[in-house]
């Protein structure tokens, strides 16, 4: 069935360094890829998304890249800050019918001051 | 706008009890979703409603039922709660007409079953 694999499960970086989280999807019909950030005890919140007709998208310190041939996409956070510490989830969706997401299992990012 | 509102925020049940989790959105969204979140397993889809009047099973529907009461409200029912259903439950909604619109989540319901 449809699957999204996310790595790593935990990631620790020094403040100011970059962080990269990678996801691989199985459904070749997937064409929309959102990323969510979830702080402890809070709701998941969308931080960036990318459509399949785009290879890269940036929003300040956050960027997402997509390789449709290899069926993987990545989240890049530059100049990390302590407030970036959270769990990050990737998801993949195909845009026909029900618009269901398949989520990755999450990456716990710790930014060390 | 409140967005997606879930009630209750916390609940403790005994095995075998029944419970309905409520979800309402005020964004005029067509699609609504129920997820459960367990440590190390991400968000797993229980049921969804692509539009008012329709509901479908997700990845983990066993032990649950849903009702799309109207366009705003989508409830999740546990008929006979089991300890394995201890989890954090999130409701989400999305516009549903533009396929690239994201899902918006509520604050969650933390459910413990003893």
**CB proximity A32 to B under 8 Å:** yes
Contact by Cβ (8 Å): A95, A32: yes
Out of A32, A96, A103, whose CB is closest to B43?
A103
Quick: pLDDT tens for B90-114: 999 998 766 678 899 999 999 999 9
Quick: pLDDT tens for A91-104: 998 766 566 888 99
**CB proximity A35 to B under 8 Å:** no
Question: Which whole number is the average pLDDT over A45-53?
Answer: 92
Query: What b/e sequence results for B2-41 when a residue is b if at least 16 CB atoms lie within 10 Å of its CB, and e otherwise?
Result: eebebeeeebebeeeeebebbbbbeeebbbbbbbbbeeee
A103 vs B42: CB contact, 8 Å cut-off?
Answer: yes
Out of A49, A97, A100, whose CB is closest to B102?
A49
Rounded to a whole number of angstroms, the distance from the CA of A90 to the nearest CA of chain B is: 10
Secondary structure (3-state) at A57: strand
User: Which two three-digit tokens encode residue A54?
Assistant: 């785009």
Rounded to a whole number of angstroms, the distance from the CA of B49 to the nearest CA of chain A is: 8
């Amino acid at each position: 069935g449809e699957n999204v694999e996310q790595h790593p499960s935990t990631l620790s970086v020094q403040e100011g360094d970059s962080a990269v989280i990678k996801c691989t999807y199985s459904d070749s019909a997937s064409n929309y890829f959102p990323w969510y950030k979830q702080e402890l005890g809070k709701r998941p919140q969308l931080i960036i998304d990318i459509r399949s007709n785009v290879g890269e998208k940036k929003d300040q310190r956050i960027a997402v890249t997509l390789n449709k041939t290899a069926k993987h996409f990545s989240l890049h956070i530059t100049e990390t800050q302590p407030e970036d510490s959270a769990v990050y989830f990737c998801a993949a969706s195909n845009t026909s019918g029900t618009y269901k997401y398949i989520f990755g299992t999450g990456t716990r990012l710790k930014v060390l001051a | 706008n409140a967005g997606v509102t879930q009630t209750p925020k916390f609940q403790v049940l005994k095995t075998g009890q029944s419970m309905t989790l409520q979800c309402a959105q005020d964004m005029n969204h067509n699609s609504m979703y129920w997820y459960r979140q367990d440590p190390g397993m991400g968000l797993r889809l229980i049921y969804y409603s692509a539009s008012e009047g329709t509901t479908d099973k997700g990845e983990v529907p066993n032990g649950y039922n849903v009702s799309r009461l109207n366009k705003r409200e989508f409830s999740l029912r546990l008929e006979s709660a089991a300890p394995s259903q201890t989890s954090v439950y999130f409701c989400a909604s999305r516009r549903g007409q533009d396929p690239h619109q994201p899902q918006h989540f509520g604050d969650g319901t933390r459910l413990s079953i003893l």
